Amino acid sequence: MKLRYDSIGFALKTGDHATKLHLLEFLGLLDTKEAKELILSLLEDQMSNGGFPSRFNERIAGITQTCRIILLLLKCGIPQKRLNAQSAANFLLRLQRDDGGWSENPELTIPKEAIEVSNRESVTWLTADIIELFREVGLGKSEACKRALSWLRRAQNDEGGWFMFEGAGFEGSDPDSTAQIAFLIKNVYGEDDPAYLKGKKLFESSLDDVARDAERGYYVALNGEKRGNDIYHLTHLFLSSLVDKNSRIEAGYDLNDKRVEKIVKAIVDSQLEDGGWRPFWSEKSDPVYTVLALKLLASLGVVKVGDLRAYVLDILGK
């Protein structure tokens, strides 16, 4: 399998600072002038309360953005004890909800189209993101982290999955959240943990479904509509976000699994002529999901990181 179009050029041309830095970090190009400038730019965005501007309102700190930007900066070498990381963690600690989880910042107004997040109810995938951050900054055994993990365990439903948040409007489990949380629980408690085993069983079923959709070229949405495969549908079981760890690839879900092979073929085939990939909510290619697709394909050995790195260096004139 081979990519037909220039995904690197698209991501560098259209991505925001965080997206471009994600690309340079995973290609091992943090020593470039461009990466150092991007790191500095993100650090300058940090607000006085320790948070980072929300994508919904840049004047208000967003919990999602704060968590994910600090996770990115830690991957880029910012020390965990540096004030930037500690103040971000303190900001998040102050906003932990009574049940142990996290929602988006209650000060924000969440647009109707942002169906994946709430500022009134604890959100499972966001809580999992913050647990990952706390584990990175030495708070993995803190009471806050224990309370968050306890809430996630309580939130698991009878079929072994997790919802996004109470009242999200969807029946049953959310495959994206379920995959992320199940493998987080494995990383924390081990592969024999009952919650992980139940979640993994549901993950396997979801993987069967996506492989079937990949092969036939479409999936059936919750409203019964047939939709052509898009990059979100094809990747959400493996990488929930750019900072999500490749724990599912590390668990052995690779090209030797025929289901993964079918999904990867569909990803390659769905690349658009501008070099990017399109999630279901957009008519255009999305730089974030383009970098996410590249990370997944590189992790699976479909594209070579060395080739991508050499191409970026050529673009940067190195």
pLDDT of 167 over the 90 cut: no
The confidence score (pLDDT) of residue 2 equals: 87
- Of residues 216 and 172, more confidence is placed in 216
What's the rounded Cα separation, in Å, for the pair 176 and 235? 9
What's the rounded Cα separation, in Å, for the pair 309 and 313? 6
- Percent of all residues in the chain with a pLDDT value above 90, rounded to a whole number: 88
The overall average pLDDT reported for the chain is 94
The confidence score (pLDDT) of residue 272 equals: 97
Residue 157: which pLDDT band, with cuts at 50, 70 and 90? very high
Q: Which two tokens stand for residue 237?
A: 């079981």
What's the rounded Cα separation, in Å, for the pair 288 and 276? 9
Among the residue ranges 93-97, 101-105, 311-315, the one predicted with the least confidence is: 311-315
The confidence score (pLDDT) of residue 246 equals: 76
- C-alpha distances in Å from residue 185, one per residue of 74, 124, 180: 22, 12, 9
Mean of the pLDDT values across residues 12-35? Answer: 96
CATH architecture designation of domain 7-245+253-315: Alpha/alpha barrel (1.50)
**109 burial class (0-12, 13-18, 19+ CB within 10 angstroms)?**
exposed
Please list, residue by residue across 137-155, b when 16 or more beta carbons sit within 10 angstroms of its beta carbon and e when fewer do. bebeeeebbebbbebbeeb
What's the rounded Cα separation, in Å, for the pair 215 and 290? 21
Residue 296: which pLDDT band, with cuts at 50, 70 and 90? very high
Residue 239: which pLDDT band, with cuts at 50, 70 and 90? confident
Mean of the pLDDT values across residues 237-247? Answer: 82
What's the rounded Cα separation, in Å, for the pair 301 and 232? 20
pLDDT of 284 over the 80 cut: yes
What's the rounded Cα separation, in Å, for the pair 119 and 104? 4
Mean of the pLDDT values across residues 144-164? Answer: 97
The confidence score (pLDDT) of residue 123 equals: 97
The confidence score (pLDDT) of residue 48 equals: 97
What pTM did the predictor assign?
Answer: 0.94
Check: CB of residue 272 under 8 Å from CB of residue 282: no
**49 burial class (0-12, 13-18, 19+ CB within 10 angstroms)?**
middle
The confidence score (pLDDT) of residue 243 equals: 82
The alpha carbon of residue 317 and the mean position of all alpha carbons in its chain are separated, in whole angstroms, by 30
pLDDT of 227 over the 80 cut: yes
Residue 241: which pLDDT band, with cuts at 50, 70 and 90? confident
Dump pLDDT digits (tens) for 52-68: 999 999 999 999 999 99
Residue 49: which pLDDT band, with cuts at 50, 70 and 90? very high
pLDDT of 88 over the 80 cut: yes
- Of residues 238 and 249, more confidence is placed in 238
pLDDT of 31 over the 80 cut: yes
Query: Is the torsion defined by CA of 280, 286, 290, 292 positive or negative?
Result: negative
Residue 295: which pLDDT band, with cuts at 50, 70 and 90? very high
Residue 85: which pLDDT band, with cuts at 50, 70 and 90? very high
pLDDT of 74 over the 80 cut: yes
